[in-house]
Amino acid sequence: MLEWIKDHFNTLHQLQLNATVTNQHGEDIGLAAGFEHYIDAAIATRETRSKIIFIGNGGSAGIASHLAIDHSKNGSLPAMAFSDAAAITCISNDYGYEHVFAKQLEFHARKGDLVIAISSSGKSVNILNAVTAARAAGCGVVTLAGFDRANPLNKLGDVNFYVDSKEYGYVEVSHMALIHTALDYIIESECKNSEFSHQPLLAAVE
């Protein structure tokens, strides 16, 4: 059992470190440059009083909600996920599920917002439609996909993160880890620059 666990974690480790990152022209830019773009874009939303919008289906919807909460609460970066059940069922009923995110972006997205589109397959029609709506609204776009590298989502973002696996578990956990790592970098960097960075924790709390 221990060997299986080690192999599983080692696979996750390698998938995350070897994630392919491309720009809007399809050029490989490397993991560090991809992180730098995401970090700069995320911080820019705060500076321009814009917001980060996470979208995904199923497990990716759970990731979207988790990341939106952590960006808002821990990163002081206004963020939201389109996961409200009433909105999802209303829009699905009236317009079709393929427009469930695009319509919400039409309602809520503004120029300068940043949309994070998450899809393990990179083929979900509602995610692809959402990217089109995000572009029409003047939003920046970051994509996270897996499975086949030639999936359509993997070429639609300003920056595209691709995890080379066809297993949902590996892809979803890697997507979460990649963006959460970028958020952790933001939090750590800003804590180091805060007035409390050189004070003992208890003193800072008091």
Q: Which of 106, 111, 185, 180 is nearest to 141 (CA)?
A: 111
Give the per-residue pLDDT at 193.
77
Give the per-residue pLDDT at 203.
39
| Residues 37 and 185: beta-carbon distance below 8 Å | no
Name which CATH class applies to 25-187.
alpha beta
| Element holding 53 (H helix, E strand) | strand 52-55
DSSP 98: G
Q: Please count the CA atoms within 13 angstroms of the CA of 17 that sit on its side-chain side.
A: 6
In 3-state terms, what secondary structure has residue 158?
coil
Strands (E), 149-203: 159-162
DSSP 9: H
Give the per-residue pLDDT at 200.
41
Residue with tokens 């920056």, as numbered in its chain: 159
Q: How confident is the model at residue 67 (pLDDT cuts 50, 70, 90)?
A: very high
Q: Enter the tokens of residue 29.
A: 């830019």
Distances (CA, A) of 11 to 108, 114, 118, 164, 179: 38, 30, 21, 11, 18
| Residues 109 and 53: beta-carbon distance below 8 Å | yes
Q: How confident is the model at residue 199 (pLDDT cuts 50, 70, 90)?
A: very low
Which tens digits make up the pLDDT trace of 16-58?
A: 999 999 999 999 999 999 999 999 999 999 999 999 999 999 9
pTM above 0.85, yes or no: yes
Quickly list DSSP for 69-94: HHHHHTT---EEE---HHHHHHHHHH
Give the per-residue pLDDT at 204.
38
Give the per-residue pLDDT at 194.
66
